[in-house]
Amino acid sequence: MTSVVATGLRLRVEETAARLSEAGCDEPRSEAEALVSTAAGSVPRHLLYTEERDLSPDERERLEALLERRLRGEPLQYITGQAAFRLLTLAVDRRALIPRPETEGLVEVALQLVPTNAPATVLDAGTGSGAIAISLAMECPAWTILAADASPAALELARENAARYDVTSVEWIEADLAGYGIWRHLPPLDLLISNPPYVSEAEWDRLPVEIRDYEPRAALLAGPEGLDLIIPILEGASMRVRPGGTVVMEIGERQGERVIEATRRAGFDDIRIAPDLAGRPRYLIAIQPRRGE
């Protein structure tokens, strides 16, 4: 039986995967494909195994620089400049948190709770890269989407991502969600969806280097218990979510009891925590009481 000798781009993938594996990377081949593809000018991954050409000297130099960044711990998404989220391929960089599968699950929970073909006013509180807001705008065209963030840089990135998909219907709002100014000026909401910062100070030093040293601290860290933004958002939501309206929020897996208590204090009922795909308690779901209930 004759073995296939790797050449060209395939060889670059093999070599890069070997170095990533030696460094302890969990998915060395997948990451190697992404790095070689990026170095080669965004070559589709399947062509890495079929094209006969090799990297040019400039592309090899670029691949080495990209690989060194990854070996130092920089997230792959920041290196390639993109991240997948539901139906989207988003531009990502250090202006905002990298969208994660858990947040895709947050969107899925919301879509199961609120009718998608009927008009609804929705706030994405802490939009970051715009992943949630843009997904909802594309998947639920009957909805009116507002998206707020305190970071002008994050909102700039979100607008860039919206332009990628010709999404012009989202209203982008620069506002401190921990203050009360924004809440006084919002319309009544049918849904508030949020992936707020929820890492506690005690957890910060235990985060992987690729998160702690590269992703924006303000998008992750939220005080001694990780509740410094969750509680103000819940209090604001209590003023703006309509009777019968819904709050869906991503939280830390150890925060359930404290978040339920804070949600109840804010005046919501029918409160529960739903699991993510790994079975971890991840999503707060709360309904605003109807008048007279």
N-terminal to C-terminal alpha carbon distance within the chain: 75
H or E stretch at 25: none
Closest CA to 127 of 183, 163, 165, 171: 171
246-274: average pLDDT: 96
Using CA atoms in the order 176, 219, 277, 257, what is the torsion angle rounded to 10 degrees? -60
| 120-125 vs 189-194, strand pairing mode | parallel
Give the length of the chain.
Answer: 293
Query: In degrees rounded to 5, what are phi and psi of residue 159?
Result: -65, -40
Among 101-105, 177-181, 201-205, 276-280, name the one with the lowest average pLDDT.
Answer: 177-181
Structure tokens given for 38: 């990026």
Helices (DSSP H) in the chain: which residue ranges? 8-22, 28-39, 57-71, 76-80, 101-113, 131-139, 152-164, 181-185, 201-204, 209-212, 230-240, 256-265
The topology under which CATH files domain 93-287 is: Rossmann fold (3.40.50)
pTM: 0.93
d(CA 293, CA 289): 6
d(CA 107, CA 91): 19
pLDDT of residue 31: 96
pLDDT of residue 2: 41
pLDDT of residue 67: 97
Decide: 149 and 174 in contact? Cβ < 8 Å: yes
- pLDDT tier for residue 181 given thresholds of 50, 70 and 90: confident
Sheet of strand 281-287: strand arrangement: 171-174, 143-149, 120-125, 189-194, 241-250, 281-287, 269-275
Average pLDDT, the chain: 94
- The ranges assigned to domains in the chain are 8-72, 93-287
In degrees, rounded to 5, the angle at the alpha carbon of residue 247 between the alpha carbons of residues 234 and 183 is 45
